[in-house]
Amino acid sequence: MANSAQGKKVLFICLGNICRSPIAEAVFNHILEEQGLAGWEVDSGAIGSWHVGRGPDRRAVSTMKKHNVHMSHKARQLKKTDFNHYDYIFGMDHENISDIKDMAPKTYTASIELFGSYDPQKELLIRDPYYDDDDAGFEKCYEQCLRCSKGFLDSLAK
């Protein structure tokens, strides 16, 4: 059955915004399209500024190509105004969550959560594959993002 969740604003955050969060953004957009859901605003960003302006890691690009998921993103850093613009800011691991909270303004409306908390298989953390010497961690990240995207949308429809 089509998901009835109303459009929300969602921001995916990881450390560098070249591996996990652009994959999460791309996969989430893919699922929105698959489920015929419109009116969402989806973006991703980084804790750090190292890769600002660059496209995703080539292993993230090849993993998305393999699964026919469109990905188009240039890295950008999390900023204070994000906290009162987005409904949800999702981190990939506990360190992300702690860094996101450290960067927050005094008051904000976004809900800051681990994306993995929506995994029906209960795999809470989306591990950083950046320093791996192969693609396996990227494939695993894709699979987790797929499950979490569906899990999150299902949770809103309830």
Residues at the contact surface with ligand 4NP, assessed by CB under 6 A: 14-20, 50, 128, 130
Q: How far is the CB of 56 from ligand 4NP (least distance, A)?
A: 8
Residue 129: φ, ψ to 5°: -90, 5
Least distance from C-beta 142 to ligand 4NP, angstroms?
A: 12
76 is a catalytic site residue:
no
∠ CA 16-110-158, rounded to 5°: 110
- Select which of 57, 99, 128, 141 is catalytic: 128
Q: Beta strands of the chain (E only): which ranges? A: 9-14, 41-46, 88-91, 111-114
Active site residue 20: yes
Q: Which of left, alpha, beta for 18 (phi over 0: left; psi -120 to 50: alpha)?
A: alpha
Q: Is 43 a catalytic residue?
A: no
* C-beta closer to ligand 4NP: residue 17 or 144: 17
Among 20, 82, 99, 119, the active-site one is 20
